[in-house]
Amino acid sequence: MAEHIESVMITTEQIKEAVSRIAKQVTEDYKGKDLVLLTVLKGSLPFAADLMREIDLPLTVDFVRLSSYGNLSYSSGKVTMRDGYFPPVEGKDVLVVEDIIDTGLTLSYLSEEMMNKGAASVKICTLLNKAARREKPVKVDYLGFEIENEFVIGYGLDYDERYRNLPYIGILKLDD
């Protein structure tokens, strides 16, 4: 698959270090709380799987799939919960695990919905952040890496559903 990669942006080793650093902080911050790791499918799957195994606390996990209307280059800004499933978050300390925050539309919607459904607290953990692209404000509580405005793939992130299984994060090589 390496021939489809323009360059490696974040190596497997760097990802591991970031996961350990964040997990340590979460372990300190959530002592005595009713922690739910809420994974946003599909892209956050590897990050959440690695993170949860390094958090040294009792916790539960849950998953959501979200739909954003529009296509690859245009988003209408309307986000909804897919599959009609809403995780039971009432009274829980929810830590949303996200692969990347771009415009912020997805997470501002999700955080608001969870507070409306009675979560005790909602915090956001993202592996990658493109702050320069923000349209809606989102408070990032735990961050892996701030990145430039590049389209990245790997470690959960896809291009047309592929490349999610790369163990590093790279920039896709586009055909001329």
Interacting residues with ligand 5GP (CB under 6 A): 43, 99-106, 151-153, 157-158
Asked if 142 and 129 touch (Cβ cutoff 8 Å), the reply is: no
- CA angle 172–173–176, rounded 5-degree value: 140
Q: Which among 55, 65, 64, 117 has a CA at the least distance from the CA of 92?
A: 117
Closest to ligand 5GP by CB, 30 or 107: 107
Count CB-CB contacts under 10 A for residue 133: 13
Asked if 33 and 95 touch (Cβ cutoff 8 Å), the reply is: no
Asked if 174 and 157 touch (Cβ cutoff 8 Å), the reply is: no
Closest to ligand 5GP by CB, 64 or 101: 101
Asked if 47 and 155 touch (Cβ cutoff 8 Å), the reply is: yes
Q: How far is the CB of 33 from ligand 5GP (least distance, A)?
A: 25
Known active-site residue 99: no
Q: How far is the CB of 95 from ligand 5GP (least distance, A)?
A: 16
Closest to ligand 5GP by CB, 30 or 37: 37
Question: Angle of helix 12-29 relative to helix 45-52, nearest 10 degrees?
Answer: 60
Q: How far is the CB of 107 from ligand 5GP (least distance, A)?
A: 6
Closest to ligand 5GP by CB, 87 or 104: 104
Outline where 78-156 has alpha helix (H): 105-116
Give me the catalytic one of 56, 102, 158, 176.
102
Q: How far is the CB of 141 from ligand 5GP (least distance, A)?
A: 15
Catalytic residue numbers? 102
